Amino acid sequence: MNRSRSRQRAGFSIPELLIALTISVTLLLATMFALSVSFTAFQSTTRSVSTGVTGRILVERLQTLIRTGVDFGPLPGSPLDSIVSSDTISIDMGNGQWVTLRWDEPTEALYWEQNGDSWPLLEGVTQLPTGETTPIAPFTMEFKDGRWLNRAVIDLVVEHDDAQDMTIEGDRNDQFRLIGSAMPRVTAWDR
């Protein structure tokens, strides 16, 4: 008895399995790439927000120091000069304690110096606005009669250092330009 049976195929053929596998791998790779881009963008946004908030808090703190300070430096070289642009500002807190804020160009950091100690307050302070080739001074002080601080302007250009390794955004570093101005209370009440 030789019966000819027609075999019914159950399942998929090899080409069908390979096509399904290729589609699955493509979808999985696209999902992984989208997830990677999402994490990178989140990381970049978090760094930018962190740098911006920290910078704004720092500028507010510096304005408070200027408002409550009683003596300031560096003084103009001549009593006829009223404007001093500098990488440092020194503030006498009224109790004989001097606080100096200094921008260090090689390390791109703003330092707090007090009683011989120094520590960084903010890193990534480049002081190079977009399109400029020479750094700008972070502190501009306007003196009255060559001795008394009338107003101080804080102008910080900040970039987050870690953003430079972000290839997904084309190695773009967003700058923050943090500008604040303050007048000592002694001067404000004197008017």
Cβ(89)–Cβ(100) below 8 Å: yes
Cβ(27)–Cβ(153) below 8 Å: no
Here the tokens at position 54 are: 């920290």
Specify if 7 maps to a domain. Answer: no
Domain that holds residue 167: 14-190
Structural domains in the chain (count) = 1
Specify if 1 maps to a domain. Answer: no
Cβ(187)–Cβ(150) below 8 Å: yes
Specify if 5 maps to a domain. Answer: no
Here the tokens at position 118 are: 């120094």
Range 134-151 burial, b when 16+ CB lie within 10 A, else e: ebeebbbbebeeeeebbb
pLDDT in tens, the chain (191 residues): 556 666 666 788 999 999 999 999 999 999 999 999 999 888 878 888 888 888 899 999 999 999 999 999 999 988 888 999 999 999 999 888 999 999 999 999 999 999 999 999 998 899 988 888 899 999 999 999 888 999 999 999 998 755 444 454 555 557 889 999 999 998 777 65
Specify if 135 maps to a domain. Answer: yes
Q: In the block, which residue shows the tokens 């503030």?
A: 91
